[in-house]
Copies of this chain bind each other. A is one copy, B any other.
Amino acid sequence: MSKSELRILGQDDTDAACCSPMVREPLDASDAADLARMFKALGDPVRLRLLSLIASHEGGEACVCDLTGPFDVSQPTISHHLKVLREAGLVGSERRANWVYYRVVPAALARLSSLLQIAPAPAKGGVRA
């Protein structure tokens, strides 16, 4: 398993219904703690670039050997950052032969994205035209 799990991105409604944007209602404390762990994982430039490199890599996955090159930090540091992303649920990893391949977890990114989504036209009375 875990390889054949390629589900369509916004399609799994187990997670899809979870996240109305936070303009609609205030987050409760437990949701906030959960989401904050994910945002915190994104709160480092190296990790952000790592995620971007993984997401934009061909096939949607990249091995660690592809990721250590573009940075000025050491290999243990890259490994540490990947672990943070993995434990936040933003990426998953799989070992194939000598290499470990990382790929993004689309549902996690979609959850954060939709949380930050803002109503395009709030129809809030005074703001009209």
A contact set with B: CB distance below 8 Å: 6-10, 22-27, 29, 32-33, 35-37, 39-49, 51-53, 55-56, 59-60, 70, 104, 106, 109-110, 112-122, 124, 126-127, 129
Contact = CB atoms under 8 A, between A and B. Distances in A.
A22 to B, nearest CB: 4
A105 B104 CA distance: 28
27 contacts: A6-B126, A6-B127, A8-B121, A8-B127, A10-B118, A22-B52, A23-B52, A23-B55, A23-B104, A24-B56, A25-B52, A26-B49, A26-B53, A26-B70, A27-B49, A33-B45, A35-B48, A36-B42, A36-B43, A36-B45, A41-B43, A42-B43, A55-B118, A60-B124, A104-B118, A106-B118, A109-B118
Protomer copies: 2
Given A26-B53, A44-B36, A60-B124, A9 B112 contact: no
